[in-house]
Every structure is written in C-alpha cells, then in structure tokens.
Amino acid sequence: MNRTELNKLSKIILESAITVHKEMGPGLLEVVYEYCLLRELSSRDIPVYNQVYLPLLYKGEKLNKDFRIDILVYNEIIIEIKAIDSIIPVHEAQIISYLKLSGFRLGFLINFNVPLLKEGFRRYVNNF
C-alpha cells in the first residue's frame, strides 16, 4: 500500500473512531471501544482483524513471547486502543515496539477516555 492509500485509510480510521466516541462517549472499558471500532470499520468495508498475535523474533529466532495487536487494518495499520486518564510513555513505547517488531509503517494509539477524541488520537510512523 502506498503513502496516499495509507493516508486515505488514516482518515477513515479517524472518522470511524470519532463516530464510535460520539456514539459511546468516554468512560467505558477498552474492550467496548475495540469491538465498536471493529464494527464501524467493517461497516465501511475495511478489512480488520482483532487481537492479532505478534511474535518476538531475535536474530531470526522466535522467542517464547507474543504480543497482541488490538486491531490490525488491511494487514498494514496497527491500532492500539486505550480507555485511560492519560497516555503515558509506556503506551507510546507499546505502539512503537509493535511497529518496529512487525515492520508495519503506520500505527494509531487511540484513547477513548477523553472529552474530544482528537485529544486522544495519536499517529505513529515507522519508515513511512
């Protein structure tokens, strides 16, 4: 997928997240937003997968550790969902780690526990 397509998809992801936030509001469990966002993206004919395992590889060897991506869009974009008071560095390290370990170029960290979703929406790139 080229940059233009990824940017178009980014806009759809943002619009979908805003729709979920407007419908559900802040203050719910993370899993609620995850499933609602999965449904919203699917309704827009966007291929999504949830709780995708990401193995930890070291020097080509699979170690006994897997991570789980909340939502994977088009097998290209990682979405990590949060419903917390504020994003802290460990949450950013999580999405950055997932991008580096997977080789995907684009990721979003979305915190739904905010008054306006744009305050909780962050975009991360890896070799974009």
User: pLDDT category, 60, cuts 50, 70, 90?
Assistant: very high
Element (H, E) at 80: strand 77-82
pTM here is 0.94
18-to-31, 40, 105, 117, 127 alpha-carbon distances in Å: 16, 10, 22, 6, 27
Confidence of residue 100 (pLDDT cuts 50, 70, 90): very high
Q: For the chain, which residues make up each domain, given as ranges?
A: 3-125
Query: How do residues 66-90 score in pLDDT, each as one tens digit?
Result: 999 999 999 999 999 999 999 999 9
User: Is the distance from CB of 71 to CB of 48 less than 8 angstroms?
Assistant: yes
